[in-house]
Amino acid sequence: MGLRHLLGVALAFTLVTTGPAPAQASAPVTPPGAPLSVGTQYLSATTVDLSWMSAATGTNPIAVYEVYARRPGWTYPDRLVTTTTNAWVFVPIGGLRPATTYEMYVRARDTSGLTGPASAPVTITTLPSEIVPGPPVTTQVTATTATISWRPPAVAIDRIAGYDLIVPPATPTQPIQIRASTGPSTTSVQLTGLRPGTTYTFIVVVRYTDGTPRSAPSARGTVTTVPSVPPSPPSDLTVTTLTPTSVTLSWTASTPGDFPISRYFTYVNGGALGISNPGPDLRTITFAVYPGNTYEVYVRAVDQAGIYSAPSETVTFTAPSQ
């Protein structure tokens, strides 16, 4: 056997035994878990509020939750009714048919597009439209007031005990807030004490007299109050007296916006401590300090509608050492 042949065999053997290593298997991608504890509130003729607890995160963060509805016994595909990034809040689901049974479930989808398993379904049956009042409608809106009215249900008035105008809870642990209650023949109320430039959500619940298992709620309605002009910032904030243990500051009054000034708030070191003056005519304040410490202070005005001014200029001072 010649030398050239031996070298060829050796080279072939080396190529076989030192070839590329086999590729390592990539780690499996885990989808999100199933959302838990799906629950409902305020089922009406065409809407329901749905809530669930967050799903466990898989390999990638959760991007959205998808809510599906299906009608038992139907062969149509399950319908995607909404997507949301929220969990453990009540999500309004609309577009339902009156007096119809649905099964609803939720799935989490991660940032890569991978969808996790469905939650346990929750079964609902929407109410007959004739027993449900119309959604709240708003008229005569100002910065702090609004008139809310609604259409009564199509039932005899002797079945109706009255109505409640409710701010629906945003989460399963938030209490119900009843803003107004009326008798059976009153389908309009005027709300006062609202905040300017604020959106409110309401439903109307009719209370029945004939033993109906639950009151019938309307669909949601919203109102946004008129924005108001805030007070101007207080000016000329000045340290008038400074000792190792106390400081007194004074300032020039704010100019009112749409509402009279109610009081002033003094904020110390970034607002960690808010000190309220008892009234609009007192524009000086004294509070305790510690020797050698440095303080940053600013003041804001608040009007009778609860609207705050922008902060005054910030004053910085250091309490003298004892």
CA pseudo-torsion sign 53, 123, 171, 306 = positive
Any domain includes 14: no
Contact 193, 211 (CB under 8 A): no
**Which domain CATH number covers 104?**
2.60.40.10
Look at residue 322 in the predicted model and tell me its pLDDT. 76
Q: Within 10 Å of residue 312's Cβ, how many Cβ atoms?
A: 24
Q: Is 15 within the bounds of a domain?
A: no
Instruction: Please state the rounded mean pLDDT for residues 215-232.
Output: 94
- Alpha-carbon torsion angle 133, 161, 194, 268, nearest 10: -120
Domain limit, last residue, from 125, 146, 166: 125
Are residues 119 and 61 part of one domain?
A: yes
Order of strands, sheet of 284-288, starting from the edge strand that comes earlier in the sequence: 235-242, 246-252, 284-288
96, 125, 154: which is the final residue of a domain? 125
174-212 pLDDT, tens per residue?
988 999 999 999 999 999 999 999 999 999 999 999 866
What are the angstrom distances between the C-alpha of 66 and each of 38, 48, 223? 13, 16, 28
**Comparison of pLDDT for 322 and 229, the residue scoring more:** 229
Residue 145: give the domain boundaries: 129-224
Domain assignment of residue 48, yes or no? yes
The pLDDT, as a whole number, for residue 3 is 45
In a domain, 3, yes or no: no
295-310: per-residue pLDDT in tens? 999 999 999 998 999 9
Residues 138 and 208 in one domain: yes
* DSSP structural state of residue 10: H
Binned at pLDDT 50, 70 and 90, residue 13 comes out as very low
Final residue of a structural domain among 125, 157, 176: 125
Q: pLDDT at position 276, please?
A: 74
Same domain? 142 vs 218? yes
| Average pLDDT of the chain to the nearest whole number | 90
140 in a structural domain: yes
With respect to residue 261, please indicate whether it lies within any of the assigned structural domains: yes
Confidence of residue 214 (pLDDT cuts 50, 70, 90): low
Contact (CB, 8 A) for 139 and 147:
yes
**Does 56 lie in the same domain as 113?**
yes
Is 2 among the domain residues?
A: no
For residue range 65-88, what is the model confidence (pLDDT) as tens digits? 999 999 998 888 899 999 999 999
Mean pLDDT over residues 46-67, rounded? 96
pLDDT at 21: 53
Confidence check: pLDDT of 25 > 80: no
pLDDT of residue 299: 94
Q: Are residues 186 and 200 in the same domain?
A: yes
Nearest of 151, 134, 135, 156 to residue 209 by alpha carbon = 156
User: In sequence order, which ranges of the chain are alpha helices (DSSP H)?
Assistant: 3-17
- pLDDT score of 12: 45
| 19 inside domain | no
Distances (CA, A) of 113 to 27, 58, 105, 106, 118: 18, 12, 18, 15, 15
Domains contained in the chain, number: 3
Match 């050239």 to its residue by tokens: 4
Token reading at 295: 């303080």
